Amino acid sequence: MNSSTSPPDTMHPQLMLLMELQDLRSQYRELEQDEGAAPVEEEHFHIDPAEAREQLQAKVSELEERLDPQVRARYERISPQRDRVVVPVINGVCYGCFVSIATATVGDQDVHQELQSCENCGSFIYVVS
Amino acid sequence: MKLRKLFTPESVELNLSSESKDEVLKELIQLLGLDEKSEAILFKTLKRRENLGSTGIGKGIAIPHCRSLVVNELRLAYGRKPEGMDFQAIDDEPVHNLFLIVAPPLEVSNQYLPVLGKIAQFAKDPEIPAKLEEIQKPEEFLALLEERAP
């Protein structure tokens, strides 16, 4: 692994950003739930869930500002409807809607160089190798 | 779920070489065998979790953890830094034992939080740090899990 934290050049920068956003949103969501991470984080790691959510939300807002206008428009259209704006594609199946994705879309070795979405549910997709 | 089943010898490193917190996180991530772009995203997510508060829970133990899109199943790794390192742990003591836990955003079996709690309990057993210190081979780490976290 490179010591640099800059994104690998084989991934579309906006996809990278969307994935970071998605991971932050996952953390935020889990800290909202009484039976989620909040009690574990409080007990073992002394985290204040409310404060942590505030920090995460600030970071989410900051990253959202860095989305290209077109991407952001789609992101804002999807995010109120779904917990996950970016969904993994595993073995050719979109894990947002569980419908198979066309091989032409996900079969390319450089699939992450373009920002792609599921034709069925509209979620941005990330192919998990 | 037995903790032993979530580790492999390849996911155990008994002599971490990194000196800084960032570098040690990267070294742990490498134990998962992900591709480069996934490693970079996971590093950022783990860093953001660390920014909320250190996952160094005291007594020489750290449990960096997060959910991330880059894995499709629960993944764990263990790293040992015999001489210890600064991880901004809650007791300000050096960290010697690091358990990395990464889960996908959604899991059918919902193992992430129970496993996180189980690792924390295992690590807090007062006898565990000394036992971890004695380990010579990854297989002995797995045997310790089998014995103490059935």
d(CA B10, CA B49): 25
Residue A27's SS3 state is helix
Query: Which pLDDT tens digits describe chain A residue by residue (129 residues)?
Result: 444 444 445 788 999 999 999 999 989 988 887 777 888 898 889 999 999 999 999 999 999 999 999 999 999 998 888 878 999 888 889 988 899 987 766 666 667 778 888 989 889 998 876
Check which CATH number belongs to the domain holding B55 and give it: 3.40.930.10
- Number of domains into which chain B is organized: 1
With CB atoms and an 8 Å threshold, state whether A5 touches B44.
Answer: yes
Q: What are residue B66's DSSP bridge partners?
A: B102
Nearest-5° angle of CA A23, CA B105, CA B138? 95
Would you state the pLDDT for residue A8? 47
Is beta strand A124-127 parallel, antiparallel or unpaired with respect to B56-58? unpaired
Question: What value of ipTM does the predicted structure carry?
Answer: 0.82
For chain A, what are the domain ranges? 13-127
- Name the residue of chain B whose CA is nearest to A13's CA: B37
Pairing of strands B95-103, B75-85: antiparallel
Output DSSP code: residue A124: E
Closest CA to B86 of B14, B18, B29: B18
Residues on chain B touching A44 (C-beta within 8 angstroms): 57, 63, 116-117, 120
Give the domain extent around B92.
3-148
Mean pLDDT to the nearest integer, B66-87: 94
For residue B79, the number of C-alpha atoms closer than 13 Å in the C-beta half-sphere is 27
Determine the residue of chain B that is closest to A29 in CA distance: B105
